[in-house]
Amino acid sequence: MMVKTSSTSGKNKAQLAGTHDRRVIVPVHNWTVFLKQFFIRVLNIKKYHLLDFLKMSLVKFILRNSTCLLNTESLMLLKNRATLPPHSVLPPIIHPERLTQERKQYLYWEIWQFCKPGSENLVAPAP
């Protein structure tokens, strides 16, 4: 589900991203493959507490392990400074795949019992 809009009471309303019959409401784009062409991968990114993007360079940022300014690293994200990702091109859409037989069996044997009455055959039908 994705957030559609915020309600007047300040709580978010959820919206389905797709339906059980594989109809896509919110398309998912393959950003990983697309961005991999232009940018390097930041290894162990979870160890950093703060990422400061520099205004002068939209593709360079500073990594900090703590709030201490002495404990910083600078990193250029672009693989090639002369090649920027196109602004008007979206990556290909990822289409949902059908469930494998193994996954269907798992849903039926492990999840079926937790389904709301009447939704069992939709969420975890017998394989």
Cβ-Cβ contacts under 8 Å for 73 (sequence gap 6 or more) = 62, 63, 64
Residue 1: pLDDT above 50?
no
Nearest to 76 by CA among 60, 92, 87, 89: 60
Structure confidence by residue, pLDDT tens digits, 48-96: 666 666 655 555 566 666 555 555 667 778 888 788 888 888 999 998 8
pTM score of the predicted model: 0.58
**What one-letter code names the amino acid at 16?**
L
Q: Let me know: does 121 contact 105? Beta carbons within 8 Å.
A: no
Strand partners, 74: 62
Structure confidence by residue, pLDDT tens digits, 27-56: 999 999 999 999 888 887 777 666 666 655
